[in-house]
Amino acid sequence: MATAARTKRLVAALEDAHALETQAIETLTSLAESAPDPELRTALESHRDETARIRARLEAALVTLGRRTSARKERQAVLAATIKGFTGSLRDEASPHNLKDWYVTEHSELATFAILSRAADRLGYRDIAQLGRDAASLHRNAAETAAGWFDYLVELMVGSR
């Protein structure tokens, strides 16, 4: 079984992942609201809902380890998302840069959960490791979905739309 110090580091990683998902939900909501294409909006909203379910599982995992979510990290996540949303709103609503944020966010989540799942495995927390694998898979799929919109983004940038 993991030592207290190692478990503490796993808790910190879970809190970081939770804050990241809070930020991702804010970003996806903002992108969905400004999405010019209904299919794109649906994809963003669907992934936002999936991400909310992952965040709920992270909260449950923290509770099993005797912790709650970090208020400080949550505040930072919401502030970062708010700033990001604000800067996004300064751009054209259909700006490809806004949608590029989606692709970048997915890869940040993918890396976070790929590492979290391996760490949890090493420490013997099988349920948390499974949560990490599930989340990594979900965000990997979302990254592919985001990449599927690249041609659409190019049309917005230089095409006739």
Positions in the binding site for Fe ion (CB under 5 A): 106, 109, 139, 142
* Strand spans (E) along 66-142: none
Using the minimum distance from each CB to Fe ion, give the nearer residue, 2 or 114.
Answer: 114
Taking the complex as a whole, how short is the minimal distance between the CB of residue 145 and Fe ion, in angstroms? 9
Using the minimum distance from each CB to Fe ion, give the nearer residue, 67 or 107.
Answer: 107
Taking the complex as a whole, how short is the minimal distance between the CB of residue 53 and Fe ion, in angstroms? 11
Is the distance from CB of 93 to CB of 34 less than 8 angstroms? Answer: yes
Residue number closest to Fe ion, CB atom? 139
46: amino acid identity, one letter: S
Taking the complex as a whole, how short is the minimal distance between the CB of residue 155 and Fe ion, in angstroms? 24
Taking the complex as a whole, how short is the minimal distance between the CB of residue 3 and Fe ion, in angstroms? 32
- Picking from 46, 2, 23, the residue whose alpha carbon sits closest to that of residue 104 is 23
Instruction: State the DSSP string of 56-69.
Output: HHHHHHHHHTT---
d(CA 100, CA 154): 11
Using the minimum distance from each CB to Fe ion, give the nearer residue, 17 or 156.
Answer: 17
Using the minimum distance from each CB to Fe ion, give the nearer residue, 26 or 109.
Answer: 109
Is the distance from CB of 116 to CB of 17 less than 8 angstroms? Answer: yes
Q: Is 12 left (phi over 0), alpha (psi -120 to 50) or beta?
A: alpha
Using the minimum distance from each CB to Fe ion, give the nearer residue, 119 or 143.
Answer: 143
Taking the complex as a whole, how short is the minimal distance between the CB of residue 15 and Fe ion, in angstroms? 18
